[in-house]
């Protein structure tokens, strides 16, 4: 795609955004004859959007079909939008054929969602056997997600535990425990990293047996629930969420229980529990059977773990509740970037907006949520430290 064509497409999008549909369409009509199929296909996609915005659904359908016929890298988007319009027109059988064409041309990471749409349409039209086959395809696409961050977190926690246990002397833990455990007086001296590093420790504070059960339970929980959240939010956001939940547990601990030393990944994992529960209740997500089964059990699981938290001596309720509150807040305020909703399957181009603009707005909105929660946690930690300093001056 040449720079000139790219600029003319950008100008057409700007005109559409400002409501100047006629001028945008005039400019786009010229681009439909461009020798670059990507340029021509993108122009037809935008013409379809322009026609849809003026309630010319038949014209929009024809334009999107031209985009599909153009054969460029966006041809699959043309077929998908044709299929969506055919659903709105009630032509479900024709829509299935259009979705199959979109599936044939789509990038690999888009095929799981398209397979789900085909499956629902097949089920709606009475093709139960074919529907089950499509759902199986969708499960395979979703199940292939590689949860690199979760695996990395587990590897770090296990590695830290092995090293620290090997170097430990008595029940006070090894050198990593001494350097990383969360204790408010240490934080007040400027060792802020302890608010995060405590979540990677499972050192033998009260005997090896308890320590082994502690890390085994936490790592198993992370192995089960981490990949679900990582798939929904992506690798980078998931890591930020995990660290914020760990920080939330640490901050509530130094605020509410400043005299108690704390370590363990439980706070961060409770944050994943809270996020899974709120996302499951608030969003209507299309998920693999495994993910759906896990998230559907979040309510009872939370109740059991909260009872366990307050009933068993020696467990840091502040770490668990702090992480839980942060995770629940993020789940309420930040929509998953990688989840497909049932409603989103049939959104119109008008509500969908331009892909780049929508992605940018979504990223900015979620980043604002993460930064806002971080600022609240930093303020809470600063208040706790200030209380120690004020008490010392008195």
Give the pLDDT of residue 171: 63
Which of 109, 124, 143 is where one domain is finished? 143
Same domain? 238 vs 327: yes
Task: Please state, in angstroms and rounded to a whole number, the distance separating the CA atoms of residues 11 and 244.
Answer: 40
Task: Please state, in angstroms and rounded to a whole number, the distance separating the CA atoms of residues 268 and 323.
Answer: 5
CATH assignment of the domain containing 127: 1.25.40.10
E-assigned strands of 63-194? Answer: none
Give the pLDDT of residue 73: 85
Give the pLDDT of residue 142: 43
Query: What are the residue numbers of the active site?
Result: 266, 320
Which of 111, 143, 175 is where one domain is finished? 143
Same domain? 178 vs 322: yes
Same domain? 202 vs 233: yes
Give the pLDDT of residue 226: 93
Give the pLDDT of residue 34: 87
Give the pLDDT of residue 356: 43
By the 10 Å C-beta count (0-12 exposed, 13-18 middle, 19+ buried), 259 is classed as exposed
Return per-residue pLDDT of the chain as tens, 394 residues: 577 888 888 888 888 888 888 888 888 888 888 888 888 889 999 999 999 988 999 999 999 999 999 888 889 999 999 999 999 999 999 999 999 999 888 887 788 788 888 988 998 888 887 887 777 666 654 445 688 999 999 999 999 999 988 888 766 678 898 899 999 999 999 999 999 999 999 866 444 444 688 899 899 999 989 999 998 898 999 999 999 999 999 999 999 998 889 999 999 999 999 999 998 888 766 666 667 777 877 888 888 888 888 888 778 899 999 999 999 999 999 888 765 555 444 444 444 444 444 445 567 888 999 999 999 999 999 998 887 655 544 4
Which of 114, 143, 172 is where one domain is finished? 143
Secondary structure class of 242 (helix, strand, coil): helix
Q: Domain count of the chain?
A: 2
Give the pLDDT of residue 340: 54
Secondary structure class of 341 (helix, strand, coil): strand
Give the pLDDT of residue 115: 85
């Amino acid at each position: 795609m040449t720079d000139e064509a790219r600029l003319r497409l950008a100008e057409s999008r700007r005109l559409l955004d400002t409501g100047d549909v006629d001028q945008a369409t005039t400019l786009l009509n010229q681009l439909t004859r461009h020798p670059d199929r990507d340029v021509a296909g993108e122009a037809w996609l935008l013409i379809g959007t322009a026609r849809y915005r003026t309630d010319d659904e038949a014209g929009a359908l024809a334009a999107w079909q031209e985009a599909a016929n153009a054969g460029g890298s966006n041809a699959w988007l043309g077929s998908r939008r044709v299929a969506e319009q055919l659903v709105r027109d009630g032509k479900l059988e024709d829509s299935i054929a259009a979705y199959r064409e979109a599936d044939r041309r789509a990038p690999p990471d888009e095929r799981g969602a398209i397979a789900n749409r085909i499956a629902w349409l097949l089920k709606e039209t009475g093709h139960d056997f074919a529907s089950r086959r499509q759902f199986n395809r969708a499960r395979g696409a979703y199940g292939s997600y590689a949860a690199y961050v979760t695996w990395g977190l587990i590897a770090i926690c296990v590695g830290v535990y092995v090293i620290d246990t090997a170097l430990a002397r008595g029940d006070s833990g090894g050198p990593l425990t001494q350097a990383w455990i969360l204790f408010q007086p240490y934080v007040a001296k400027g060792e802020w990293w302890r608010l995060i590093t405590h979540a990677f420790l499972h050192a033998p504070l009260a005997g090896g047996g308890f320590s082994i059960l502690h890390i085994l339970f936490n790592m198993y929980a992370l192995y089960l629930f981490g990949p679900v959240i990582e798939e929904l939010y992506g690798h980078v956001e998931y890591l930020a969420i995990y660290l914020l939940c760990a920080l939330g547990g640490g901050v509530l601990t130094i605020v509410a229980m400043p005299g108690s030393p704390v370590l363990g990944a439980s706070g961060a994992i409770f944050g994943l529990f809270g996020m899974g529960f709120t996302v499951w209740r608030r969003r209507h997500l299309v998920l693999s059977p495994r993910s759906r089964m896990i998230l559907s059990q979040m309510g009872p699981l939370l109740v059991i773990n909260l009872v366990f938290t307050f009933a068993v001596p020696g467990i840091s309720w502040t770490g668990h509740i702090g992480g839980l509150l942060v995770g629940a807040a993020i789940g309420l305020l930040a929509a998953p970037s990688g989840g497909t909703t049932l409603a989103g399957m049939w959104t119109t181009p008008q509500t969908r907006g331009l892909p780049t603009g929508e992605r940018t707005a979504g990223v900015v909105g979620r980043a604002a949520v993460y930064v806002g929660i971080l600022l609240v946690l930093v303020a809470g930690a600063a208040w706790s430290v200030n209380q120690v300093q004020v008490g010392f001056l008195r």
